[in-house]
Amino acid sequence: MGTNLQQTISLQTKLSPQQIQMIKLLELPTMQLEQRIKREIEENIVLEEEQPADEEREPEKISVEEYIGKEDDTPSYKARINNFSKDDKQRPVYITEGRSLQEYLIEQLRFRSLSERDMAIAVYIVGSIDDDGYLRRDLSSLSDDMAFSQGIDVSEQEIERVLGIIHQLEPSGVGARNLQECLLLQMRQQRIDTRAKRLALKILTSYFDAFAKKHYERLMSRLQISEEEFREAIEQIKCLYPKPGNLYTEGGSDTTPYIVPDFVLDNTDGELRLTLNAGNIPEVRISRRYKEMLRDMVAPDGTVREKDREAIQFVKSKIDSAKWFISAIKQRHDTLMRTMRTILDFQREYFLDGDKSKLRPMILKDIADRTGLDVSTISRVVNSKYIQTPFGIILLKSLFSEGMQTSSGEEVSSYEIKKILQDCIDQEDKRRPLTDENLMDILNAKGYCIARRTVAKYREMLDIPVARMRKQI
């Protein structure tokens, strides 16, 4: 085969380092931006946190020889320095947050007279229990894993026997393999001294599937009981906990998200005032000492000594990087404020009182067209960003919704339809809940042309179960 040389012309779009840095900073919420700036200060020696005016003072004069030794044979300067010797020991920092659910269960097991073998089996079972208190692994898998990892040959019957001991521990219901077993464990640890409790135990034991599917009329017919007796039994079941592990919180991790709003909106007599939440974000600047260092290393005639060339090149590269970073932060500020002001103008009626029914249909392209920015830029701005308003903290992404036309030709937001659905379901007769077809007829009567499958989609978005599961006695 011969070798062919061919020349082609192509156009390629490449982002500059500043553009890449801007894109990355634009996506960061306030808390992550604060961490990102602090990390940049640590990595870039010419960046420093700006101090208040009354704390500013003249930087000390430092000599270049402090950084460049006369006998330094290093070919180039390094951006990172390890300030420790090889003899130093790294001491880990331990953070304690209390006992976990598994530790609490093992502590209870120690008060029981278990053999060494039973204790080893029990500890392994406890380690397989999820944070909500359920054992979701089958016994055969536990038996195989214990044989391979622990070297203990144990049968499923033996695991079942030790699991019965764990079922007696607190919180009640821990170690259950399904919801029925969890509720039964809690029920059996109570004193069954009333007719309502005996009836509740019978329902959970023999009629759990019908109870879970809310076939209440069929249950009352099979049990031959009145509606009042059935309601009393249901109240006893409602006192049980479906996730017993959640009752133990001493060592549990806090899964509640901690939100720091990126914007703050104030309403003063109908005048909306928007500010960017700076929080603890430090103001950064280029250190003057390095600027002076460059001046000292350059002779009056503009010449540079050979030994200072590498130092100058290093400092200049760090200063350029710092300038790019400061510029990217400023551009981020301008882009966020520009986008948020446009959203505020677009949804002004909503931001005045927080009524979601006043939200206008809005998509990313609407804001992109008004700001002159790209749709991808708007997407990065609203992603994981929050605004603090007089009526609560709102996720910016939740303000965007699809539009729908009514029979009169008026365009409304999907939030308005969701609000009507929520109101209809809140006011429905719980004995005969509204089906999706009933809700569709109500919306059509109000002038909203909507299909049943769309009603089902909005209902699921509101975390509302189907009519059968909303039925109550």
pLDDT in tens, 59-86: 444 444 444 444 444 344 333 444 444 4
pLDDT category of residue 283 using cuts at 50, 70 and 90? confident
Q: Measured at the alpha carbon of residue 136, what is the angle toward residues 133 and 140, in degrees to the nearest 5?
A: 130
Residues 275 and 195 in one domain: no
- Map residue 304 onto helix, strand or coil: strand
What is the pLDDT, as a whole number, of residue 338?
92
Beta carbons within 8 Å of 186's beta carbon, 6+ residues apart: 172, 173, 240, 241, 244
More confident: 22 or 423: 423
Beta carbons within 8 Å of 247's beta carbon, 6+ residues apart: 133, 171, 241
What is the pLDDT, as a whole number, of residue 319?
82
Residue 300, in any domain of the structure: yes
Tokens describing residue 270: 């109908």
Residue 74, in any domain of the structure: no
Q: Are strands 386-389 and 284-286 parallel, antiparallel or unpaired?
A: unpaired
Instruction: Please give the tally of structural domains in the chain.
Output: 4
Residues 159 and 191 in one domain: no
Question: What is the domain range of residue 149?
Answer: 101-169
pLDDT category of residue 411 using cuts at 50, 70 and 90? low
Beta carbons within 8 Å of 110's beta carbon, 6+ residues apart: none
Question: Bridge partners of 362?
Answer: 401
Beta carbons within 8 Å of 38's beta carbon, 6+ residues apart: 282
Residue 12, in any domain of the structure: no
Residues 323 and 410 in one domain: no
Q: What is the CATH number of the domain that holds 457?
A: 1.10.10.60
pLDDT at 161 over 90: yes
Residues 353 and 270 in one domain: yes
User: Which of 337-341, 357-361, 447-451 is predicted most confidently?
Assistant: 337-341
For residues 88-109, give the mean pLDDT.
68
Residue 81, in any domain of the structure: no
Residues 133 and 214 in one domain: no
Residues 275 and 393 in one domain: yes
Q: What is the pLDDT of residues 21-57, one digit of tens each?
A: 677 788 888 888 888 888 888 888 888 877 665 444 5
Residues 267 and 395 in one domain: yes
**Boundary residue ending a domain (200, 227, 251):** 251
Write the DSSP string, 374-422. Answer: -HHHHHHHHTT-EEEETTEEEEGGGG-B-EEEBTTS-EEEHHHHHHHHH
**Boundary residue ending a domain (348, 364, 399):** 399
Residue 94, in any domain of the structure: no
For residues 255-261, give the mean pLDDT.
68
Gyration radius of the chain over CA positions:
33
- Range from 75-84, 105-114, 309-318, 383-392 carrying the lowest mean pLDDT: 75-84
pLDDT category of residue 93 using cuts at 50, 70 and 90? very low
Residue 324, in any domain of the structure: yes
pLDDT at 459 over 50: yes
Residue 332, in any domain of the structure: yes
- Give the number of other Cβ atoms within 10 Å of residue 406's Cβ: 16
Beta carbons within 8 Å of 188's beta carbon, 6+ residues apart: 201
Residues 307 and 331 in one domain: yes
**Boundary residue ending a domain (360, 384, 399):** 399
Residues 220 and 336 in one domain: no
Residue 312, in any domain of the structure: yes
Strand ranges (E), 207-323: 263-268, 271-276, 284-286
Residues 411 and 393 in one domain: no
- Map residue 137 onto helix, strand or coil: coil
User: Which residue bears the tokens 């729908």?
Assistant: 404
Residues 456 and 346 in one domain: no
pLDDT at 282 over 90: no
Residues 123 and 191 in one domain: no
pLDDT at 322 over 70: yes
